Chains A and B, each alone.
Chain A
Amino acid sequence: MATSAAQTERELPAVLPSVTEVFLTFLVIGATSFGGGVVAYLRSALVAKKKWMDDVQFLELMSISNTLPGLNATNMSILAGDRLRGSVGSLAAMIGMCLPGFIFMTVAGILYGQHGDRPLVGAMLKGVAAAAVGLIAGTWYQIGKKTVKGFYDAFFILAAVLGVNHFKLGVPVTLLGVGALAIFANRPHKERVEGKKEEVAEWISSLR
């Protein structure tokens, strides 16, 4: 926990929750966040109810979570758990978040294996699938509206879609190819780099 002061400029609450408390909080979120949108549940629990962190800290964790592979639900559990209780807290949060859904989907998988070929089940699942497409499209439409700020953003969205669906490049090639181009298009400006030279030198020496 000695490094945690270096990680957060802002103070964490004076009385940190116990590992059990961290586990139970994430277990409740993991068990009640039906239908996705886990991030909203997390914010309501960690920021609004428990006051374990403020919105700025929460957003900082979100920006890490968004950049890395892995789902927001688990990435956020790992990062928040680490801030609150170190590596043990991180593990407790991750397990709490995953356990209910794991049991849910394992049971669903077993039931599907036994009853999946009944006509009524098949018909209902066809409805579930159509609804899921609408739900996922709606969720991403909302995220897209907030993210797209100019021509480049729209271009890279289109490039990724075409890469996977039209040119059949596969997800890894598209991710690496379009991702590298997009990062290059957003490369640091020269002036900014000049101004930041000292900071960068500081950063490099801090790595050693």
Chain B
Amino acid sequence: MDQLPALAKVFGYLSLLTVGGGMAAFPELKTLVVGVHHWLTDTQLIHVYSVGQMAPGPNMMMVAAVGVKVAGLAGAAVAALAFFVPTGVLTFAIGRLWKRLGHWPWRTSIQQGLAPVAIGLAVAGTISLGHGAITNWVALALAVAVFAATLRTKINPALLILCGAVVGGIAFR
């Protein structure tokens, strides 16, 4: 229970870094959850994060799984609220201001400028995740196969990840 304020602080802070999506925050998530607070090991974080890609809805709901591990159901609630409420309020406010911002010349600059930065941060996050997740040739082959299937087919991504579980269950045992 004494971890609740720390959970709120960590996930409230991380939410501000999710420009372009949750992947951008992954390196910082790893630093805080594994390195600073020791809530999970490196491997556990990769597991929880990857399972989170299968969940329906926002793809960062894995914060609830971290919260529940640290402080039970209250931890799950605090982590999720801290992660989704501050940016939610910001979005609500900016959404109402947006029409006025329509004539502001820097609006387009911010939009165009941040697009490649968001991609770069997501790539950086993916590399950081890949470092821990791709530990041998079979894992690499699996990742490449899913990458190709994502580009060339319209298979539901959750099914691809389930396939990963089956292949992993057989190959990594």
Which A positions have Cβ atoms within 8 angstroms of B?
3, 6-8, 29-38, 60-61, 63-75, 78-79, 82, 87, 90, 94, 97-98, 100-102, 104-106, 108-110, 112-113, 116, 119-120, 122-144, 147-148, 152-161, 163-165, 170-172, 174-175, 178-179, 182-188, 192-193, 196, 199-200, 202-203, 206-207
Contact = CB atoms under 8 A, between A and B. Distances in A.
Query: Which residue among B16, B64, B128 has the maximum number of chain A CB atoms within 10 Å of its CB?
Result: B64
Interface residues of B, number: 117
The listed residue with most A CB atoms (<10 A of its CB), out of B55, B94, B134, is: B55
Q: Which of B61, B143, B165 is the most central at the interface, judged by chain A CB atoms within 10 Å of its CB?
A: B61
A128 to B, nearest CB: 5
Most buried by A among B44, B91, B100, B150: B91
Given A142-B150, A148-B116, 10 more contacts: A7-B98, A7-B99, A70-B90, A71-B18, A109-B48, A127-B139, A129-B49, A129-B129, A183-B106, A196-B103
Contact of B91 (A34, A63, A79): A79
Chain A facing B: main interface SS: helix
Given A73-B57, A126-B168, A129-B50, A140 B126 contact: yes
B8 interface: no
A179 B164 contact: no
A142 B149 CA distance: 12
A160 B20 CA distance: 13
Most A Cβ at <10 Å: residue of B46, B62, B168, B172: B168
Contacts of B51: 105, 108, 112, 125, 128
21 contacts: A64-B94, A71-B60, A74-B58, A82-B95, A105-B52, A105-B62, A109-B76, A116-B44, A126-B139, A130-B139, A131-B50, A133-B143, A139-B150, A142-B151, A154-B116, A156-B117, A164-B27, A170-B28, A178-B117, A193-B105, A199-B103
